Structure 1
């Protein structure tokens, strides 16, 4: 065996497909005493320890007791410049942007500041078991340089982009259609496809871009292969009314992006709380995705995301924390809130569906399911070790659990960063809990 082969032993769980499509029992694979083989940063094999251990010679085996190994979590919508303003009190979306967000993002004109925050941000993601994220920068191109430099140093698979915003924002945070296009193009040439990094064309949301800027953003999105487009959609009812007033010639919020060629594969729209059936159909037929951001939508009072409605139309859905409007970097906490969002609508969120949303579902939404999301051979070895004894309460609850579903559900209800024992990216440990 190769000297680069390493094995990790624990209970192992990963998604195989969407439970909504194949049914819960066919949607996952579980090894109560499992072995994950990693070679040169990729998954070599996964299976029962009793079957795989006899085939190994001179291979280091790292064993985790009372632990569960899952694929690394995937965050499909988050703002790294808002790290310092997380948990800011008492506003709904539009007032919140003006009161907290814009003044905070002003500081990212200073690349040294951006680099400091990028380091804190990535440390928080990894501490919470998130190994891939779709990330907003600020309007300043140096904020994206700082972020990618920090992500590259850790060999993370990350997607980010410079915010495009040429109106309805403070002068100190606006660009122009031409400068936004030129700066984004420069960043794409420098970072897109470098190592495990990807670029996203990032208009903040329709109200802060003129039609001229959106047109150039659409031009850019279609100029390069495999680019992402990342923006907001139908988060708040007042926001939707504002879009109608700014774009009276368009048929709706989504049509603004559609008209400017910003919709399609690798387009990710955050929130989508108030979508009509026609918009859901259009998202599905173009292969676009929506990021479900439950902690943010509850915190800002935006509304309840209708996961079942989007699924019925075949829309790709990932899970997002939306920090800083979100209240935690933890995808476990996001799933806690997602369960409550569904309950408030008289609907259910099965724990294996939760696992799917946080892992393979996010990979599918990002068109990265050939690289991350589960433990299929050849995929990136991004994984997280969850501790069944992370807190006294979790430990006690696990002693009462009779099924895997019970254990998984309890982790999503009670877990947070303390439940993450260790996080690996491309086979390397990038976080170990003290």
Structure 2
């Protein structure tokens, strides 16, 4: 079938799929559950399939965003509890209620819309593939603040080159200035249908024919203008740039850097999230990237070669000792990446980590001044300890672990023999475990 035919591979989507955080890349034994679910939900986007011409108004030959009319399928799951979901009348009423609520919110000025209004609009927009497939999540989340609604009477002409339109009520008939018999057979676009584009169309020549739509009844149409969408993209880009710039300037080694060099690094940063307990850097290998930590914490480990278990050499029987930690507004990997030096330590995430990273290939394009500044200001992530120092630190940490275990055990035994159990206090309804302890140890419990 046409839906199953594949004409090629979208390599942009493929590269984005391979960069999913937590996905197994050879260093990890297996992918995280979240990364696996995201991969399975997104892998079909890498396949290119034959394009179909939907019954909508295309604008120009490139950059068109148009989809077939659709109903509110996602609303079928929003029928109030206690009612029969199979009753079409109740589904229709639920759809009408949401549409009316959205129209009421859109008729307010963008500055007057409350957080609840924006959330309702955002919830509805997520139900349409014309938004979810064409817009990034960040733009989709904020586009509800620039959308407006227009009311059109019957038999009015609506030109589609002014923005993107989504029909909330009513229906329209697509036409062109150059009429033909085929146009008379085109179906009308109803509720859920869309036409137009988010960005101005790029006309290849002056021979393009202008398209328009004729309203068949009173219509309520959501509109996103080209200028509003362009301003939204500029605001998001400026916010991302400012956040990346503050991320670098927040690191103590970059406080006195000149503005120009900071800008060079800011353009190279990519924001990425790492799950907890993920190995970012392996001792003895070059760091895979330079990282600037935004949120989260990492542990720095060093291997103890003298404590290798011979029976577990193949299974990773090398002991490690904690030699330091990395936290918010700290960086690592500059010296290792720029000088191609193996890392003297292993870095593992303790909590979920949000960081800005710069790939080694991106650093190769930097000017010599910025590279020299990075080597002068950045310090090694950790100093290489001697074997004796590592052994002493290992023994100290092991003694602390053993002492903590003894304290917890003594405290647990003391609470148990005195009839004190977690969740069974004086005013707790379920106190069966405490009564059992009192029955077995009557001499341990003071009289009431």
Q: TM-score, normalised by structure 1?
A: 0.22
| Higher RCO (CA-CA < 8 Å; seq separation 6+) | 1
Q: TM-score, normalised by structure 2?
A: 0.21
Structure with more of its chain in strand, by fraction: 1
